[in-house]
Amino acid sequence: MDLRLNSEFGALKAVLMHRPGREIDRLTPYNKELLLFEDVPYLEAMQREHDYFTQVIKQATGARIYGLHELLMETISDEKVLFKLMEEALSVSRLSHLAESMVARLSTSECSTALMAGIKVHELKRKIPKLPVVDLMDFAYIIPPSPNLYFQRDTAALTPGGMIFSSMKMEGRQREANIVRAIFENHPEFMDNNHKIYPIDGHNSPACIEGGDVIIISDKAVAIGNSERTDEKAIYHVAKSLLAEGTVERVYEVHLPKQRNFMHLDTVFTILDENLVLTYPDALEAVLKTSLYTLKSSDNDQVHIKRTVLKESLLTVLEKEIPYLEIIQLGNGNKEYALREQWFDGANVFAIGPRRVVSYSRNKYTNRSLRDAGVEVLEIPSSELSRGLGGPRCMTMPLSRSSI
């Protein structure tokens, strides 16, 4: 499987997802904000909703669904990979020296749980009684939990030119990208097929970028949100690699207001077909400053790119890139519904094929506008899933689609 994608809507053939697990039960009223949740979810109900989502995708597309947990277990059966991941995970609490004994004393399954759901001092003491951490409180985390893992969109992004491995902005998500990168770089099914675009070799603390900010406009153009989560510097480096690679000819940098409801570019628009876009009108019509990166010159190792600040709205940019653009507005044209439904990721539908989407059933006005425009809408429940403030697109990392 060549890990590149040239559209947001080609018929889905393979996707990576994560069924919420024990990491969700780590959320409390006190840590939920740090861990980027609006509320404390009920895990079993959340799993039922997620299973329903997975079933809908399977039945509608026959796509192969990869589960993060299974892939992680297969990847860390290689002890060297496990050791490195464990060391990285422990470095947050400056306890990397415990990696050796953890890998030696814990089973592969216990290690994968520790990597995803975190581990507390007293939990590890049960497994390693003489743990040398006397000065730590029993309830402190040795490895912090990663409850946002079910938002697989954000940990990496596939583009027409190759793969971006994210560098996550928020403390509560930083470890997720390490897990996913370890899988793509070491799992036999993927390791030889990923052409890495970012981070640049030798950059040890790369500027931040998250997958939800990356939208493929066509096989020649990619848009990246300069947002709460993605930095200008990362966009510059991604643009340079993509343009040097040669498939993509234009990279747009779209400035989003740095606020939670616009955390990623995919919270304001998604592409559903060759000329069909779903948008949150308030964001799109605002002149979100947009810059365009193109290739100036490239000979051998020397690549120079040019950045032009555009004086037009994102809407105008989309109209230029997508001929005969048709726009569907969130909330069926009603501002108040649009506001409510944008909060619950109405714009964040997941396209499983041209004009075929999975959408939260709660976003009823948006779903109505989609159907009126001839889009097939497969609805899923979201009472618990939505508590993490992400929608169907956020929960999926497509790995293969029919090319357009």
Give the contacts of 65 (CB within 8 A, at least 6 positions apart).
Answer: 14, 15, 16, 17, 54, 57, 58
20 part of the interface to ligand ARG, by CB under 6 A: no
Residue 158 sits at the vertex; the CA angle it makes with 156 and 161, to the nearest 5 degrees, is 130
173 binds ligand ARG (CB under 6 A): yes
Return d(Cα 200, Cα 79) in angstroms, integer: 26
Which residues ranging from 282 to 341 are in contact with ligand ARG (CB under 6 A)? none
Please, what is the minimum distance in Å from the beta carbon of residue 147 to ligand ARG? Answer: 8
Q: Which of 163, 216, 263, 375 binds ligand ARG (CB under 6 A)?
A: 263
Written as one letter, the residue type at 6 is: N
Q: Which stretch in 155-163, 230-238, 263-271, 310-318 sits in contact with ligand ARG by CB under 6 A?
A: 263-271
Triad 271, 229, 306: Cα angle to 5°? 75
Rounded to 5 degrees, φ, ψ at 279 are: -135, 160
Contact criterion met (CB below 8 Å) for 1 and 383:
no
Contact string 330-369 vs ligand ARG (x = CB under 6 A):
------------------x---------------------
Which one of 161, 390, 392, 398 is in contact with ligand ARG (CB under 6 A)? 390
Are 386 and 344 in contact, with CB atoms under 8 Å apart? yes
Q: Could you say whether residue 36 binds ligand ARG (CB under 6 A)?
A: yes
Q: Which stretch binds ligand ARG (CB under 6 A): 12-20, 56-64, 361-369, 387-395?
A: 387-395
Q: Could you write out the DSSP letters of every residue in 76-143?
A: TTSHHHHHHHHHHHHHTTT-GGGHHHHHHHS-HHHHHHHHHH-EEHHHHHHHSTT-S-TTS-TTSEEE
Based on CB atoms, which residue is closest to ligand ARG, 148 or 329? 148
236 φ/ψ angles, rounded to the nearest 5 degrees: -60, -50
Q: Residue 250, interface with ligand ARG (CB under 6 A)? A: no
Out of 206, 212, 281, 392, the only residue in the binding site for ligand ARG (CB under 6 A) is 212
Q: Which is nearer to ligand ARG, 346 or 353 (CB)?
A: 346
Pick the closer one to ligand ARG by CB: 250 or 387. Answer: 387
Q: Name the residue with tokens 């340079």.
A: 240
Query: What ranges make up the beta strands (E) of 116-238?
Result: 119-120, 141-143, 156-159, 162-165, 196-198, 214-218, 221-226
- Choosing from 20, 144, 225, 388, the residue that interacts with ligand ARG (CB under 6 A) is 388
Residue 394 catalytic?
A: yes
**Tokens 């030119």 found at:** 161
Query: Bridge-partner residues for 215, per DSSP?
Result: 223
How far CA 11 is from CA of 152, 354, 355, 398, in Å, comes to 19, 7, 10, 10
Identified catalytic residue from 305, 394, 395, 397: 394
**Residue 106 binds ligand ARG, judged by CB under 6 A:** no
Which of 267, 291, 313, 367 contacts ligand ARG by CB under 6 A? 267
Nearer to ligand ARG, 149 or 248 (CB): 149
Q: Which is nearer to ligand ARG, 242 or 385 (CB)?
A: 385
Tell me the window of 112-120, 157-165, 285-293, 382-390 that interacts with ligand ARG (CB under 6 A). Answer: 382-390
Position 281 contacts ligand ARG (CB under 6 A):
no
Torsion of Cα atoms, 38 then 40 then 42 then 45, to 10°:
10
The span of 86-94, 149-157, 294-302, 312-320 binding ligand ARG (CB under 6 A) equals 149-157
Please give the Cα distance from 318 to 326 (Å, whole number): 10
User: Catalytic positions, please?
Assistant: 394
Binding footprint of ligand ARG on the chain (CB under 6 A): 36, 148, 151, 153-154, 173, 212, 263-264, 266-267, 348, 388-390, 394
